Structure 1
Amino acid sequence: MPPTTPYAGKFSSCVPYSSNANHQQPTSPYRSSTVPKPARENIYNGAYSVGENPYDIPQPHSGAYRSASVSSVNAKEHHYTSCALSENPYSSPQPYSPRQHSTSCPGRAHRHTSGSSGSSSDQSCRNNNNVAAAKARFYGHGVTTSYGEMCYHDNSLVSASLEALIQHLVPTVDYYPDRSYVFTFLLSSRLFLPPYELMTRVCHLCVEQQRSGDALLDKIRFREVAPKLVQLLTEWTETFPYDFRDERMMRCLKDMTLHVARGDEVSYSWRAMQQMTQRLIKRLSALGQYEEAVAALNVVAMERPASLKSKQASAQRSDVLSVCDDPFVLAQQLTHIELDRLSFIGPEEFIQTFAMKDPLENHKGFFRKRKTSNLEAYVSWFNRLSYLVATEICMPMKKKHRARIIEFFIDVAQECFNIGNFNSLMAIITGMNMSPVARLKKTWNKVNTDKFEILEHQMDPSSNFSNYRTALRGATQRSETAHSSQEKIVIPFFSLLIKDIYFLNEGCASRLPNGHINFEKLWELAKQVSEFLVWRQVVCPFDRERRILQYLVTTPIFTEDELHLASYESEGPENNMEKDSRRSLRSSLLHRENRT
């Protein structure tokens, strides 16, 4: 079923064009053209290994991601933050837990060194908390408490110093940080220090806390805490594996493996470290193969189309209808590509797009290495699909054929909407609204645009894309209660998701006036990214059509100048400005071809 929207019921499945009586097959030189060259097929099939090809076998996704998902909550303002944020969806450890207090809290400082005094200090904190809670209930306000360098509101962490947050991440024998806190801090800590430094400090603190001066006792104590440390490192490697492409991270991981082995070479912890490292290496290997394959496909796609000096010559190029004439099948293959590429985007890439902007950051050299290649590759795919749609429309010589391709892509966009593939939907709409396509008035006069207007209404940018956000919520609700794998698919309009995260970061201070980290902002960033992680782990249920996939990712597309010239060749200039533009484009493109 389609997402719950005002227009959802108006869309029905499209009939394949080969049997659609309303769209008679026109005579076209593209029908007799050949399919993509075998060389491209070889690149497509051989770019990945059999087990890692994301266009062949869907990549497995760690179950750890699902635990990071959160639900929407009501907005609430707090007087100590610089912006209004929604209620913290992740609850902090319950009051009076061993880790509720910061390292500077008296109750925490003496807990491990003094029995009676520690209990007395802890009880004092509890009594103060109870008094504050009673007053809050009487006056109708939430409870705000501070433990040294950590501040809580209604048992939710809202701010703390960087040192306290790092200490809060360190496990002990009887304590392990909440998984939501682990995900949130590992995700956003890169705003303040590089991952390798965080890992070094966490491992160092974990080891140093077990030192007593007696070598045998130290070994026993570390053996007791080792399972918790391994659990933390496992969550790190499974949720943020790309951090370990840094040699310093791998070196630290190797050092901790040796440290665990010295404690007990036959222990469960040592075996768990070995298995964790093997899974990490496999994941990084798959990432490397994926990036190499995408680069190879991009090289093939960079081949220029036939010369525009003669549209008869360009007729040798295959068009989309000669490869697939069923809108539903093409929408399915687009969904395959979307989910394949989404699966390789690391959650940290959203944060690293603006990690270098913190004015207090002293590790700018690290952040200059913009580790966002998979995110950028996905944005490039959106642009490619938009230009592919425009190229397919502007290429045919006959007006009837152009109109038929426009109607075909409208139906493909409709099927993308029904599937929940909003990114491909928006890319198709963008391509059809490009000026070289929009100016083809004679062609558009032959097209029934009712469905296209409905789709445009769904993706209307007014009111901050309110219609799209309603449709996205409907698709998300459908996914949460899905009875089939197809109903689980939610592919958001990716550029808007990036924009939302960007403005959340820009609109809220990362640090408060007292120097504390604004952890409410970090909760919100984690909520946005964790929703994406749930969406990206869906395995596409549709059958793969290699020939169609090959065409979509490798067929050459026009540049913007080539699109304008092709548009003028299809429907001549209407005024002197367009005539001058065509003359200039012909001259510049001809000069460019002669140079190459």
Structure 2
Amino acid sequence: SLTVLPPRSQASPPSPGYVHYKTCKVRSLRAGSLQRLVQNLLVEYEGTDPSYVPTFLSTYRAFTSPEEVLDLLLDRRMERVCDEESLPPGSPVPDTLRVQRVVRGLLQTWLERHPQDFRDAPGCLRLISSYLSRDREGTGRDPHSPLLHLLQSLGEEEEEEEGGGRARSPPLRKSARAAGEGDAETPGDNRTLLSRPPQDVAEQLTLIDVDLFQRLQSCHCLGSIWSQRDKKENRHVAPSVRATVAQFNAVTACVTASVLSDVQLRPQQRARVLEKWICVSQYCRFLRNFSSLRAILSALQSNPIYRLKRTWAAVSRDNMNVFHKLSDIFSDENNHGMSREILTQDEIPLRRVNSARNEPRPLQRSASQVRTTRRAQGTVPYLGTFLTDLIMLDTALPDFIEGGLINFDKRRKEYEVLAKIQKLQLTCRHYVLTPKPEILQAFYTHRQLTEDQSYRISRTIEPPADSCPNSPRIRRKLTKRFSSLLLGSEVFGSKLNDDRVSPSGSCSSCEIDEGLIAALCPPEAPTHRSSPEPLTPLRDEPSRPAASPRSPMSLSSSLPVYNQQVADLCIIRVSMENTRGNLYKSILLTSQDKSRVVIKRSLLKHNIEPCQPDDYQLVQLLAEGKELTIPDSANVYYAMNTSANFDFVLRRRVRVS
């Protein structure tokens, strides 16, 4: 809306009683063919829809490739069409110089904001260079052109990689590890990770997370890309997200091993180890590093550590209060409303750091902490929250509408989430942290335990018959598993056959090269058992979503949720019977879906080709081992039992000859 002001010559004191407004119509493209969407890039580059270009450049990988976009963008016929559309009816078609300037500006924006698109498709650089050589204004021959400078920089990187010359600067994770390994030969340097000050450990974990988060490509987080990572042909999809998840798992494994490795420790000594990690996690909170904070809490809430009742009973009350307060940040109440709200807040005020009553005393007196709090303005989020929203959007909204047009409204909603990631990436420039190779070396070379090893050691430390009434009462809502609805797949009860580390040290795991996705959320608190076998619960019973209003940053309340039917929609989880572990896939169910449609969709998600829906039947898993077989002709939405969990299994039919 625009305020209409009177001319200067007739200016009068503003009236407090009313204000004149002028309504302006904004042109917005909701859906279209690929050619139309690319054409609209040139129209809206300086048009009335400023969000169109960044939305397209951030999400186009979900429905096309850089080569296709560039071919359409540099097509001479596209220039004439855009010139004609930008003029009033009946006007003569002018020269295309203006459109060429728009194309150059668009290419520069693309190269600046998404250079990785051209590293992944180096042939695109040659197309742009060829286009500039034909430019009428001679941009391709101007040595001071920013666009030409960007092309030269990316071209040099490509030549270095092809010729085996000087490679690009390696990620901090690799370079720091190399530096640490070089220093490891120093005699007498055998100190463990926790022998360093907690704030130093937190800073080095933050240093790694900042480097990975800044290298994160937001398009890799799109639900249509990340949810397809388990297919064989997509083993190398979304490497920047996988790297973040791998670091999360490394932190979780480090915490688990440091608590459990020494079986000779007394409960009071092991409690001091827990307190040190609680202290490290609090420093991560001060540094606004929610990725490592969540990883540490996930490890402390995992089965092998959670069940150590004598150890938890020896943890001081102040540290337990801190532990519970930090755990509250990741509560799933109100669609993770607290963690979403914290991401938008400024850094922790100094007065809160100094006046908190339940914080450990070393944190209250630390001058280093005061300096850190003053300078640390960046934020490293817990990436699982954004993956949740993007996979939910991808599940709930169609890619195409009637007529085969690309649903660009869906891309706008996805960009709202990606824009938050990109904004947080910019804040990471404010971090001022110095690498300490000895701490990085201690972290990278820390002992790691498999899931089974962790649980066996835990049972050795405290046999199952042992009990203590003072064990920590971690709230159930804080320790629920990251639903397969949100991350696309989840495996419960599967066991690792090698020395690789499980996602959270708990009894749920995915394939290790999938980044141990279940680690992105702490597991359900275990129930005590006296059987000699390790705890391997096949299912956790998720609680139903809270009925309270959602956070302003959360998704629209009209989106479907798991275990609840809302607006004729819901999300169910479907697994295949007789498979290794229980691999769930989330399915969007409407009030119009029949059994055959749901079975076919589930087979496609499980990558079972060719799909034969008639060979399977859909069965809902109820409590106490009961089942509900959905009839072939039934409407699943109305036939299912809504008082039970929305968990289903596809079972092969037994053909009677």
TM-score, structure 2 length as denominator?
0.53
Given that 1:210 and 1:221 are in contact with CA atoms closer than 8 Å, whether structure 2 keeps it comes out as no
Give the match for residue 399 of structure 2.
Answer: 510
Taking a change above 3 Å as real, the CA distance of residues 420 and 355 of structure 1, as seen in their structure-2 partners, is closer
Equivalent positions of 1:310-321 (< 5 A) are 318-321=191-194
Q: Among residues 418, 421, 427, which one is paired with 1:529 in the alignment?
A: 418
Indicate whether 1:238 and 2:112 are aligned: yes
Give the match for residue 423 of structure 1.
Answer: 291
Q: Among residues 459, 462, 468, which one is paired with 1:571 in the alignment?
A: 462
Q: CA deviation at 1:221?
A: 4.9
Q: CA deviation at 1:416?
A: 1.6
Equivalent positions of 1:422-571 (< 5 A) are 422-448=290-316, 449-475=320-346, 486-537=375-426, 538-539=428-429, 540-571=431-462
Taking a change above 3 Å as real, the CA distance of residues 398 and 513 of structure 1, as seen in their structure-2 partners, is same
Q: CA deviation at 1:176?
A: 6.6
Taking a change above 3 Å as real, the CA distance of residues 200 and 366 of structure 1, as seen in their structure-2 partners, is farther
Given that 1:176 and 1:228 are in contact with CA atoms closer than 8 Å, whether structure 2 keeps it comes out as no
Give the match for residue 166 of structure 1.
Answer: 38
SS at match of 2:31: strand
Residue-by-residue CA offset, 1:431-486 (whole Å, 9 max, x unaligned)? 101111111111111102121112112222233222222322324899xxxx9973
Rounded Cα–Cα distance in structure 1 between residues aligned with 2:116 and 2:49: 22
Rounded Cα–Cα distance in structure 2 between residues aligned with 1:375 and 1:413: 22
Larger relative contact order (Cα-Cα within 8 Å, sequence gap ≥ 6): 1
Give the match for residue 73 of structure 2.
Answer: 202
Give the match for residue 390 of structure 1.
Answer: 256
Taking a change above 3 Å as real, the CA distance of residues 489 and 264 of structure 1, as seen in their structure-2 partners, is closer
Taking a change above 3 Å as real, the CA distance of residues 155 and 197 of structure 1, as seen in their structure-2 partners, is closer
Taking a change above 3 Å as real, the CA distance of residues 426 and 368 of structure 1, as seen in their structure-2 partners, is closer
Rounded Cα–Cα distance in structure 1 between residues aligned with 2:250 and 2:398: 35
Give the match for residue 280 of structure 1.
Answer: 154
Indicate whether 1:377 and 2:248 are aligned: no
Taking a change above 3 Å as real, the CA distance of residues 459 and 369 of structure 1, as seen in their structure-2 partners, is closer
Equivalent positions of 1:100-139 (< 5 A) are none
Indicate whether 1:185 and 2:42 are aligned: no
Given that 2:204 and 2:435 are in contact with CA atoms closer than 8 Å, whether structure 1 keeps it comes out as yes
Q: CA deviation at 1:344?
A: 0.8
Given that 1:328 and 1:415 are in contact with CA atoms closer than 8 Å, whether structure 2 keeps it comes out as yes
Rounded Cα–Cα distance in structure 2 between residues aligned with 1:166 and 1:355: 24
Given that 1:327 and 1:411 are in contact with CA atoms closer than 8 Å, whether structure 2 keeps it comes out as yes
SS at match of 1:574: coil
Taking a change above 3 Å as real, the CA distance of residues 295 and 484 of structure 1, as seen in their structure-2 partners, is closer
Rounded Cα–Cα distance in structure 2 between residues aligned with 1:355 and 1:515: 23
Rounded Cα–Cα distance in structure 2 between residues aligned with 1:518 and 1:418: 41
Rounded Cα–Cα distance in structure 1 between residues aligned with 2:276 and 2:329: 19
Rounded Cα–Cα distance in structure 1 between residues aligned with 2:172 and 2:456: 32
Q: CA deviation at 1:547?
A: 1.6
SS at match of 2:334: helix
Given that 1:190 and 1:355 are in contact with CA atoms closer than 8 Å, whether structure 2 keeps it comes out as no
Give the match for residue 568 of structure 2.
Answer: none
Q: Please tell me the residue identity of whatever aligns with 1:412.
A: V
Unaligned runs of 5+ in 2: 3-22, 84-93, 182-188, 350-371, 467-528, 536-657
Q: CA deviation at 1:185?
A: 0.8
Q: Please tell me the residue identity of whatever aligns with 2:245.
A: V
Once the two structures are overlaid, the 10-residue window that deviates more, 572-581 or 190-199, is: 572-581
Residue-by-residue CA offset, 1:210-260 (whole Å, 9 max, x unaligned)? 999xxxxxxx95665444322211111121111112233233233224333
Given that 1:203 and 1:256 are in contact with CA atoms closer than 8 Å, whether structure 2 keeps it comes out as yes
Indicate whether 1:249 and 2:124 are aligned: yes
Residue-by-residue CA offset, 1:3-44 (whole Å, 9 max, x unaligned)? xxxxxxxxxxxxxxxxxxxxxxxxxxxxxxxxxxxxxxxxxx
Residue-by-residue CA offset, 1:296-320 (whole Å, 9 max, x unaligned)? 8899999xxxxxxxxxxxxx97432
Across the two proteins, how many residue pairs are aligned to each other?
Answer: 399
Given that 2:256 and 2:454 are in contact with CA atoms closer than 8 Å, whether structure 1 keeps it comes out as yes
Q: Please tell me the residue identity of whatever aligns with 1:550.
A: Q
TM-score, structure 1 length as denominator?
0.58
Unaligned runs of 5+ in 1: 1-90, 95-141, 144-152, 213-219, 303-315, 358-364, 583-596
Q: CA deviation at 1:272?
A: 3.2
Rounded Cα–Cα distance in structure 1 between residues aligned with 2:278 and 2:232: 45
Equivalent positions of 1:254-273 (< 5 A) are 254-260=129-135, 264=138, 267-268=141-142, 271-273=145-147
Rounded Cα–Cα distance in structure 1 between residues aligned with 2:28 and 2:190: 60
**Richer in helix (by share):** 1
Rounded Cα–Cα distance in structure 2 between residues aligned with 1:366 and 1:251: 31
Given that 2:62 and 2:222 are in contact with CA atoms closer than 8 Å, whether structure 1 keeps it comes out as yes
Rounded Cα–Cα distance in structure 2 between residues aligned with 1:414 and 1:283: 40
